[in-house]
Structures are given as structure tokens and as C-alpha cells.
Chain A
Amino acid sequence: MKYAKSKNDIVNEYIHALNEDIAPLFLEIRSCILAAGPSFNESIKWKNCLVYSTTKNHIQTVVGKGKVSLIFFEGTSLKDKYDLLEGDGSKARTMRITSADFNKKALADYVKQTLKANK
């Protein structure tokens, strides 16, 4: 499995342990997020959630069976012109991704908006 190594050993261990069925999709999403948000740091929160953060947590990745869900902690503040964010909570919104042909443009847009709002 080839991927850009994280600066965090725990994240590398986590990626290494991912199920082969979901790893390619997970890595595709990860590279898309890091390309749009190069200032993100990666860490593992709780036992198995990859979190992208700056001075606070912004996006959390949860791997499920055949899907990867991205929780945007400040999702309600994002302009959702692609209509891909789900949820009705007061703050967070979720983007569910099930295949490698997901809308990369939309994800990059959400990531950029997230970082812009944090400045």
C-alpha cells in the first residue's frame, strides 16, 4: 500500500492496519483533504477516528463497512452548493463517501471553506 506518510506515527500505524477493502478509498479521500488543506495536522482521536486539525479539530474520518464518513465539526457554517452534507444537528454535518468516484471538487471546497472560516 503506497501513500504519503504522515508525520504522526500513530496515523501511519492506523493506515497500515486498515482493511484492504476500504484502504484505497480512505487514502484517496485523505490525499484529497491534504491537497486542499495542506496546513492540517493528522491525529487519531479516541480509538480509531482520524482527525484533521489546526489549532482545533475540524474534520473527523470514520471508516465503516464499504464507506468512509467525514464529520465536519463546524459543518453548519459551510455553504453546501453540492448538497452532499447530511445531518440536522446544531453544528456538525456529515459527508458520506462510498466509492472512489466521489465528488472531489466538493470535498476540496468543503475543506477550503473549513480552513478559511478558521482564519
Chain B
Amino acid sequence: MKILFQKQKGNPALGIAFFWSMTLGTKSPTLISDHFIPELFYDYFLIKKGSIKAVDSRGNEFTFPQQTLKTLHTRPIKFVFSTPLILFGARLSLKFAESFWGKDIKSNSFIEQNWSTKEPKDLATFAFQVTETIQKRRESKTIAPLLSPALDESAWLGGYSLRHKSRLYKSVFGISKKEMWSIKNVHSFLEQTCDFASQNPRIIQHVNPEVFYDQPHLNHSFKKVTGFSPVEYFETSSLLQDNLMSASYNEILVR
């Protein structure tokens, strides 16, 4: 199997973290399973060649149309790629959701879209088409951003009731603030500089006491969000997400 992964800069002002393309080539057509854990990003997919099926932890299956917007997921999913596969994608931040023009951005879903009207020949063309669509169609859902990049609530929300704010988060992002924090906490663990080579893997040394009380707390939260224990996850191959995650961690997102 050969993998080609390319990345192109996005437009943080529009909530586009970056664009990417992934090509999976195998000697003969085959199915490849790939794990995908929840992240605080929306992902736009355009399938140029091949097909993708998503299976969630409850066994629900979804076959991707040619263009799909993946909303925020609170549960892990498994992708089944059929090769040869050529995928284009855009990684979108929470800022994008604040100006998404669609009415419904429910969590754990895939929404068929048509942002690219002509099949793009390369990543640059795809990036141009997606940027143009977002630029043209975006409409602010709120008078100002709801959250800071660190997920702190904006000052202008101070006067609203908890109930109202909770409705607001759900309608704009698709998930509650509590669910966002669960995902963020797991990623605060994964974002760390991993140096498991100095000893055998000792997860305890990487538990941030400001986020998790102790290792069992980390294990429980980690398993709930990802479906894996930290060590299982460490050894699991996830072709697409490994690349998307490391690119996301290295991007400086300006909201």
C-alpha cells in the first residue's frame, strides 16, 4: 500500500484550517479500515476516486456521497476505504460553524453538500472552489464569536441564562460545551510531546494534573471518547487521522 498526503494552507479568517489530499494505492482493489476519534474540527470530503463508508460505534453505516461535511463527532467512527482512493478535504475549525449557512449541523452526522461544482483536477483547484463557496455563502449566526480558541466563553454571553447558552452552543456547533471539553481534554493529552522511548510507555508521566485527576481518570475519559485505552491508541494505525491531527496540532489557528 502506498500513501500520498499533501497539505495546503487554509484561510483561518473563514475557519479553514488547511486543505489536504490523500491518495491510497494498493496492488489490487481492497478495503482498508481506518479509525477516527472525535476532534473539535469539521471535515469536508470530496471523493475523486474510490469510496468511503463510515461505521459508528453503534453499528450505523453511512456511505459517503461524492461531497460530504462531517460534523463534530462525540463517538469514534470507523472508515472503510475502498482503494484506489483519491480524496480531497478541508479541515474546518469551530469558527466555520459560527457562519455555516445550513440550518442543521447536528453532531455525529454526515451532511451531503456540493461546494465544489466542477470536479477539481488538483488540490489547489479544490481549495479555490471551497474557499469561494464558503466566502459566498457564509452568514454569521451570532453577533460575535461564542468561544475563544481555548473554549472560554465570550464576554458578551455573560448576561444570558445557562439554558439559553446551552441551546446556543448546540444549535451553532452541534454539541454541548461539556462534550467539547471532553474532546479537548483528550487532545490535550495527545498534543503533548510524546517521549515514550526513555522508558517503556509510562502513561502516568504524561497525565496533566490540571486536566485529569489521575491515570484511571485519564483512561476512563480517553476510552469514552476514543474507544481505546491510551496504549491501544498509541499502537493503532489511523491513516487519515494521524496526518490530519498532526497537521492540526502544528497549525496556528486564528479564530
Closest to B20 in A: A9
- Check if B246 sits within 8 Å of A57, measured CB to CB: no
Q: Does B150 lie at the interface of the complex (its beta carbon under 8 Å from any beta carbon of A)?
A: no
> Do residues B4 and A8 form an inter-chain contact, with CB atoms below 8 A?
yes
Given contacts A13-B250, A44-B242, A46-B190, contact A96 B7 (CB under 8 A): no
By size class, the interface of chain A is 20 to 34
- Do A41 and B3 form a contact, CB below 8 Å, given A89-B201, A92-B201? yes
Q: Give the number of chain B interface residues (Cβ < 8 Å).
A: 31
Q: By DSSP majority rule, is chain B's interface helix, strand, loop, or mixed?
A: mixed
Is B117's CB within 8 Å of the partner chain A? no
A-chain residues with CB within 8 Å of residue B1 when the two chains form the complex: 41, 54-55
Which of A31-71 touch B at CB < 8 Å?
A: 41, 43-49, 51, 53-57, 60, 62, 64, 69-71
Give A87 to B190 CA distance when docked, in angstroms: 23
Q: When each residue 5-42 of chain A gets 1 if its CB lies under 8 Å from chain B and 0 otherwise, what string results?
A: 00111100110000000000000000000000000010
List, in ascending order, chain A residues with CB within 8 A of B252's CB.
Answer: none
Asked whether A64 lies within 8 Å of B192 as measured between CB atoms, the reply is no
- Say yes or no: B237 contacts A55, CB within 8 Å: yes
Contact yes or no, A43 B201, CB < 8 A: no
B143 at interface, CB cutoff 8 A: no
Contact of A43 with B193 in the complex, beta carbons under 8 Å:
no
Q: Which residues of B contact A49 (CB under 8 A)?
A: 194
Query: Is A88 interfacial (CB-CB < 8 Å)?
Result: yes
A16: min CB distance to chain B, Å = 11
Q: Which residues on A are within 8 Å of B, measured CB to CB? A: 7-10, 13-14, 41, 43-49, 51, 53-57, 60, 62, 64, 69-71, 73, 87-89, 92, 94, 96
